[in-house]
Structure 1
Amino acid sequence: MARLPRLALAGHLHHLIHRGHNLQPIAVDDEDRKALLAALQECAATHKVAIHAYALLPNHLHLLATPAADNGLSRMMQALGRRYVGAFNQRHGRVGTLWEGRFRAAPLEADPYLLLVMRSIELNPQRAGLVAEPGDYAWSSAAHHLGRRRDPLISDPPGFWALGNTPFERELAWRRWLEEGEPEAERLKLIDSALKGWPLGSARFLHTLAELSDRPLTPRPRGRPRSKPASI
């Protein structure tokens, strides 16, 4: 079956996952991680993509982002590949691809998926056993949202600002969100959406997307279509 074109739309949230080829490391030390995030910051600014949350794991990258143009995500990730992969290969004496094909992404309706995906992304390092607390991980946006540091890569969306009137209120509310944890069924739903490219949102949201793209927005039923009963 032919692969569906990626659905990327200006002004909408997108959950993006980019994995290493054969799940190999995409960054092997802090120098690599600093280089990748610095390149991401520059490429996002160049192609006008707002990054709301991220987590750089050993073998994959998670992003929550809003592009200003339909092709913004693709151009940003292409530029990131050109800038980072060549330097990574040269530094580590390797050749060939680093990524597992193209990145995966899906549009999301901001309410309720903005905070759900932000939480899922920032819980990733803790879930993987890399840190005891999400805010302890140096290579995600969790410390920024918890008020431990200011991250120049991050553009906080209106939905995050709505958590409180002051930075302290927002940081406290976000700490509670992270401590609440994430149901496994919710995590799997968000991952499946991003990997398969199916948008998440209300019927009204999907109708809006349908007016902007002629690509299918939901999976087709499996199996052969049911035959209609013969008329008598």
Structure 2
Amino acid sequence: MARQARKKSDSGIYHLILRGNNRQNIFEADEDRTRFIDTIRFYKKICNYELFGYCLMNNHIHLLIKENGESVSKIVKRISSSYVSWYNQKYARCGHLFQERFRSEAVETDEYFLTVLRYIHQNPLKAGITEDMEKYVWSSYREYMGNSDHVEVDFAFSLILGDKTKSKESLLKFMSEKNDDQCLKHREKIKICDDEVIEYLKKLGILNVSELQRIEIEKRNEIIRIIKRIEGITIRQIARITGIPKSVVDRI
């Protein structure tokens, strides 16, 4: 069956998701994340695209960009090929790292642009990786809070009040608001990988999942209630990771 053609954006702006092949991790260390950010900076100059936002998760990446000449397909190919070549050499591996076909959606209105930008920056928050977007260093959120030399923050500021000085506070307030935003990732069904759940458990003081079998039941149940709120997690997944029966997890 022929692939469905990628929808062309009249505005030139796209929300992109690059996902690890078979949902595997794309990053093993902070050095890898730094390398990827350096790569999108490098090709921004070569491809002449505008970068409005990004967020690096363990097994997928969000980008909000505007093409200016080269198509998003060529841009993504340049970025992914460069990073995969470096990654494979570093870890002495070969083969694909990303899914062959990245996901994209056209961003045609100012309102939806702001919605996507908020959705991207809230990704680690909704995944339960952090409780404060400002503390998550692998997204462009902090660039909107301070100075930025490679993310076009002024465009988003102009959509709020038309003046960067006055609109900064309003934009950051907007990006912090609770919401039910439905963007590209929601439409393809959200999933969170086991490693992300295990990392979140560590932040809750559970360094080894077997500890959940030994602690007091009420404390265990409180931890289960917390991780059940993580966006994209399933009851079956929690049971598999923790060893707690699915029926018990379901009742907590």
**TM-score bracket for this pair, using the shorter chain length:** 0.7 to 0.9
SS of the counterpart of 1:162? helix
**Gap runs ≥5 in structure 1:** 197-232
- Structure 2, unpaired ranges of 5+: 190-252
Instruction: Indicate the RMSD between aligned Cα atoms, in angstroms.
Output: 2.1
SS of the residue aligned with 1:25?
A: coil
Rounded to whole Å, the distance in 1 between the matches of 2:176 and 2:36 is 28
Pair 1:67 & 2:64 matched: no
* 1:179 Cα deviation after fit: 2.4
Q: Which residue of 2 aligns with 1:180?
A: 177
CA distance in 2, matches of 1:100, 1:82: 12
Q: CA deviation at 1:57?
A: 0.7
Assess, with a 3 A threshold, how the Cα gap between structure 1 residues 48 and 10 changes in structure 2: closer, same or farther.
farther
The 1-side partners of 2:170 and 2:9 are apart by 30
CA 10–82 in structure 1, closer or farther in 2 if over 3 Å, else same: farther
Matching residue's letter, 2:118? R
Please give the alpha-carbon distance, in whole angstroms, between the structure 2 residues aligned to 1:157 and 1:72. 23
Letter in 1 for 2:6: R
Matched position secondary structure for 1:161: helix
Stretch of structure 1 that moved more, 29-38 or 166-175: 166-175
**Structure 1 residue 10: deviation in Å?**
6.6
Does the 8 Å contact 1:51/1:155 carry over to 2? yes
Matched, 1:90 2:84: no
Q: Name the structure 2 match of 1:43.
A: 43
Higher helix share: 2
Q: Is the 8 A contact 1:141 1:151 kept in 2?
A: no
Correspondence for 1:163 among 154, 160, 169: 160
Deviation readout 1:162-221 (Å, 9 max, x if unpaired): 3245544322112211221221xx32x44356x69xxxxxxxxxxxxxxxxxxxxxxxxx
Equivalent of 2:185 in 191, 207, 214:
191
In 2, Cα distance between equivalents of 1:19 and 1:75: 17
Query: What percent of counterpart residues are identical?
Result: 28
TM-score under structure 1 normalisation? Answer: 0.74
- Residue 2, structure 1, aligned to residue 10, structure 2: no
AA in 1 matched with 2:8? A
Taking structure 1 as reference, are residues 17 and 157 closer, same or farther at Cα in structure 2, changes over 3 Å only?
A: farther
CA drift of 1:41 comes to 1.1
Q: Which string of whole-angstrom CA distances, capped at 9 and with x for unpartnered residues, describes residues 93-119 of structure 1?
A: 211100011211121212311100000
TM-score, scaled to structure 2: 0.68
- Residue 5 of structure 1: SS of its match in structure 2? coil
CA offset at residue 11 of structure 1? 4.3
Higher relative contact order (CA 8 A, sep 6+): 1
